[in-house]
Structure 1
Amino acid sequence: MKRHEFLRELHKVSGNRNYLEIGVNDGRSLRLSRVPTIAVDPAFKVVTEIRCDVHLVKATSDDFFARDNPFVHLKGGRHPLRNLRRGRRPLGYWRRTVLDLSFIDGMHLFEYALRDFMNIERYSDWTSVIVFDDMLPRNVDEAARDRHTGAWTGDVYKIAEILARYRPDLVAVPVDTQPTGQLVVFGADRRNTVLRDRYEEIVAAYDVPDPQKVPEAIIERAGAVAPAALLGGGFWRPLARARALGIGRSRGWEALRAAVSRVASGG
């Protein structure tokens, strides 16, 4: 399954009510959205019809996240609320934006992708779905930090190891999409500051000169899940229901974690 086919189906099964895309390029992935969307790219050149309520932001992702209330354009952005189900909030109460589905396909260097994830997680919840693109380079040249090939993933593949090492509380599922794979992350926790606290340490450890020593498991796609298997997982409907009902992490995450892990392990 090609990456855009997978993303199209992911929009359907995830039940997302909003969408964030980092890295727009010509709009081929953006056109898959049908929900309120924010798309960020310093040099986008959209050449396809967009069929959603979209706010296109011409900026780097770092500059975008540095803005005051960057998600004001999304439904549920910062605005006063009245008569919430659990009672009235005092005047001046603002609802926190929660991103349902986010796609990271910006600068193809691990430290940029890591910062994007850290920033996105601040606006995410355990029912959010975060997708990294270009996670399974096909050869060492394609994975170089300094681009010298047509097709280029850069060293974003390192994100999988970083999350496994520093954030074992998450479930990160590599997906065998064509041409260069993706990583779908579940269980975001905006309260977790490990990556922010240890960011400089992580960059120092993983920023190494070319040629990159890409693990054979990455090149051979060992452990990558078939796209159809993940899309067909029985956890999507409960995930969307928990999101709609506002079920807290303590009540829902462990069951979702177990269900996603079973699919990821081929169970």
Structure 2
Amino acid sequence: MDRHGFLRRLHQVYRPRNYLEIGVNDGRSLALSRVPSVAIDPAFKVVKSISCDVHLVKATSDSFFARKDPLLHLRTGRNPFRALARRDPLAVLGGDPKLELSFIDGMHLFEFALRDFINVERHSRWSSVIVFDDMLPRNVDEAARDRHTGAWTGDVFKVAQVLRRLRPDLVVVEVDTSPTGVVVVFGADPDSKVLPERYDDIEKEYIKPDPQEVPDEVLLRKNAVQPEALLDAPFWPALIRARNLNRGRSAFTALRGRIEEVS
């Protein structure tokens, strides 16, 4: 299964009520969304038909998240949350809109991807799903910071290492999609300050000149699960129900083990 096949199924399985995408490119992944969406890319060239209510932003993700109210679109216009609020107060996320499904596929450099995660997590909940693309390079050349190959992941694979090391509260799942894998993150905590407070030190530690040292378990995908195994896992209905009922973070404790069984 390729990345777009995985995303298509993820939309169907998780049924997010909003979607954020960093790195639009030609619009193939954005075209999969059917819900209010925000899509960010400083140089997008959309050639696909888009079937969602989308705020398409020509900007870097850093500048976008620096705005006073970056997710305004998700609580205005044709946002279904308004109508939903009149019928079911429990289904309202309350206050600022919270991202439910986010796809990070921006600049393929470690520090950019890490900042994207920090910004996305700030606007997410524990029940949100955050997906990184291009996380499993097939060789050291693909993982170079200085691009010199056709397919290119850059060194964003290091973000998974940082999350596992410094954020054990998260569940980080590598998925064996073609061609260059994805990572799915569960359990986001918008109140966590670990990554922003340690960002400068993390950057100094992890940014290295080429060639990059890519662990064998990444190159050989030793820890990666098959996409079907994650998408067909039995925890999804419980996650969706907790999300829709706006359950507190304590609900993640009960659900975490069921998610980890897949990985």
Give yes or no for contact 1:36–1:75 (8 Å, CA) kept in 2.
Answer: no
Whether 2:131 is the aligned partner of 1:131: answer: yes
Provide the residue aligned with 1:15 in structure 2.
15
1:253 has 2:252 as partner? yes
Tell me the alpha carbon deviations over residues 32-83 of structure 1, each in whole angstroms, 9 at most, x when there is no partner.
Answer: 0010000000000000100111110000000000001100001378x9x999
Which SS does the other structure have where 2:258 is aligned?
Answer: helix
- Equivalent-residue separation in structure 2 for 1:2 and 1:120 (angstroms): 24
1:135-164: CA deviation from partner (whole Å, max 9, x where unpaired): 000100000000011110000000111001
- Aligned partners of 1:113, 1:256: CA distance in 2, in Å? 27
- Counterpart-to-counterpart distance in 1, 2:59 and 2:44: 9
Match of 2:30 in 1: 30
**AA in 2 matched with 1:253:** F
Q: Name the structure 2 match of 1:215.
A: 215
Match of 1:108 in 2: 108
Q: Which residue of 1 aligns with 2:172?
A: 172
Which runs of no fewer than 5 residues in structure 1 stay unpaired? 87-93
Who is 2:242 aligned against?
A: 242
Provide the secondary structure at the position in 2 that maps to 1:125.
strand
User: SS state of the match for residue 233, structure 1?
Assistant: coil
Post-superposition offset of 1:85: 4.3
TM score, norm. by length of structure 1: 0.92
Tell me: CA distance 1:84–1:260, structure 2 relative to 1, closer, same or farther (3 Å). Answer: closer
C-alpha separation between the residues in 1 aligned to 2:75 and 2:231?
26
Distance 2:119 2:101 in 1: 14
2:182 counterpart of 1:204: no
Instruction: Classify the secondary structure of the residue corresponding to 1:100.
Output: strand
CA distance in 2, matches of 1:130, 1:33: 15
Residue identity over aligned pairs, in percent, reads 64
Residues 187-210 of structure 1 show CA distances to partners (whole Å, capped at 9, x for unaligned) of: 000111000010001000000000
Aligned residues: 255
d(CA) in 2 for partners of 1:117 and 1:209? 23
What is the DSSP-based 3-state SS (H/G/I as helix, E as strand, rest coil) of the residue aligned with 1:121?
helix
CA shift for structure 1 position 256: 1.7
How far apart, CA to CA, are the structure 2 residues paired with 1:216 and 1:107? 24
2:190 maps to which residue? 190
Q: Give how far 1:217 is off.
A: 0.7
Q: Pairwise CA RMSD of aligned residues? A: 1.8
Shift of 1:84: 8.8
Aligned to 2:141: 141
Structure 2 spans left out of the alignment, 5+ residues: none
Alignment-derived partner of residue 66 in structure 1: 66
Q: Which amino acid aligns with 1:260?
A: I
1:91 is matched with: none
Letter in 2 for 1:218: V
